[in-house]
């Protein structure tokens, strides 16, 4: 359990450090040059690429949620219990704070950095938004992009999905969500991603933090609800190296329901399947029976055939029993 929580903490810290760091360099220092669109695209792709890499690193350990909204969606989809829900949330928030502190440490090495003016890649609306979006607009976009992201994550990590592709799918989904949301409010999609930078930088970013905690959680509920409309809930994901499993340590395959479910039985050497056509066994029922040992040599009948009497002319003469003398 501690291993999973530690993985979530480290993963969230790295996501905040690289993602918010790129946002700070691009928009805080105005490194996008004459093209704001290039800065938006670069920042969005950074978040997506970092998540794809984290899936390969901590996906088999904790499931690589690194996002309280994703964890809430997994809980509502019955993929984890309430204890893990709280543990993941605490780990993710601490990880977001540590990632922001590490980023602040790096930024302070530059003589051009001024925290009140440049910020730390935190989210905001109004004057802190590229489009000067209102609080209502920021809340709405966060619910929409987070719901879409959680829906993609839950769908990409269900048992019937392609496990090796899960990391790429969720990485591209996060990149698209950020590209859409950055001009409006900086694109949170993740309460932990907003929590760390806002706590560290303070000021107006901290006063607006409530929106970027509540709105993504609402979006997580909406995304989980949409997922449950189309897919069966409670089905654990299959853990595979390099694939994103929503609850890697909680994986349990459901027992096959119904008599028609296919089962695989490992048979010891020297056994063969015998098809039983009796009503008790049912049509097509199979059972593993040990193969009887047959004596070597031409005298034994061939396998799978019944012994037959030799032709009349080839019968071996049996010695007659000696007559008993009274």
DSSP 147-161: HHHHHHHHHHTSTTS
Secondary structure, 3-state, 22-68: HHHHHHHCCCCCCCHHHHHHHHHHHHHHHHHHHHHHHHHHHCCCCCH
59 within 8 A of 42, measured Cβ to Cβ: no
CATH class, 2-250 region: mainly alpha
DSSP 164-182: GGHHHHHHHHHHHHHHHHH
CA distances from 218 to 165, 194, 244 (A): 27, 15, 23
Token pair of 186 as six digits = 């900086």
Domain segments of the chain as ranges: 2-250
Closest-CA residue to 99 (of 39, 54, 45): 54
Distance between CA atoms of residues 31 and 46, nearest Å: 15
Per-residue pLDDT of the chain (326 residues; tens, 9 = 90+): 899 999 999 999 999 999 999 999 999 898 887 789 999 999 999 999 999 999 999 999 999 999 999 999 999 999 999 999 999 999 999 999 999 999 999 999 999 999 989 999 999 999 999 999 999 999 999 999 999 999 999 999 888 777 778 899 999 999 999 999 999 999 999 999 999 999 999 999 999 999 999 999 999 999 999 999 988 776 554 443 334 444 444 444 334 444 344 333 344 444 444 444 434 434 344 444 444 444 444 444 444 444 445 554 444 444 444 444 43
Token pair of 185 as six digits = 């409010």
Distance between CA atoms of residues 137 and 36, nearest Å: 20
């Amino acid at each position: 359990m501690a291993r999973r929580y530690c993985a979530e903490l480290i993963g969230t810290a790295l996501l905040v450090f690289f993602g918010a760091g790129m946002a700070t360099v691009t928009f805080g220092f105005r490194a996008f040059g004459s093209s704001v669109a290039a800065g938006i695209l670069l920042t969005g792709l950074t978040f997506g690429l970092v998540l794809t890499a984290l899936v390969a690193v901590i996906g088999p350990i904790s499931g690589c949620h690194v996002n309280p909204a994703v964890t809430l969606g997994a809980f509502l989809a019955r993929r984890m219990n309430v204890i893990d829900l709280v543990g993941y949330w605490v780990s993710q928030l601490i990880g977001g704070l540590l990632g922001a502190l590490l980023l602040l440490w790096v930024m302070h090495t530059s003589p051009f950095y001024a925290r009140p003016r440049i910020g730390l890649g935190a989210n905001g609306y109004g004057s802190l938004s590229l489009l000067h979006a209102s609080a209502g607009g920021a809340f709405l976009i966060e619910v929409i992009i987070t719901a879409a992201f959680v829906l993609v994550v839950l769908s990409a990590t269900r048992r019937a999905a392609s496990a090796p592709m899960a990391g790429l799918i969720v990485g591209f989904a996060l990149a698209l969500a950020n590209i859409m949301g950055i001009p409006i409010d900086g694109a949170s999609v993740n309460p932990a991603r907003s929590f760390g930078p806002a706590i560290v930088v303070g000021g107006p970013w901290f006063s607006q933090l409530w929106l970027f905690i509540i709105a993504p959680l609402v979006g997580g509920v909406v995304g989980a609800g949409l997922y449950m409309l189309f897919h069966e809930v409670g089905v654990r994901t299959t853990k595979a190296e390099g694939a994103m499993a929503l609850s890697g340590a909680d994986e349990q395959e459901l027992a096959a329901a119904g008599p028609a479910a296919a089962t695989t039985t490992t048979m010891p050497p020297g056994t063969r399947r015998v098809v039983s056509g009796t009503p008790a066994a049912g049509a097509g029922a199979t059972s593993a029976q040990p193969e009887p040992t047959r004596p070597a040599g031409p005298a034994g009948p061939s396998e799978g055939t019944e012994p037959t009497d030799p032709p009349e002319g080839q019968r071996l003469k049996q010695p007659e029993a000696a007559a008993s003398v009274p």
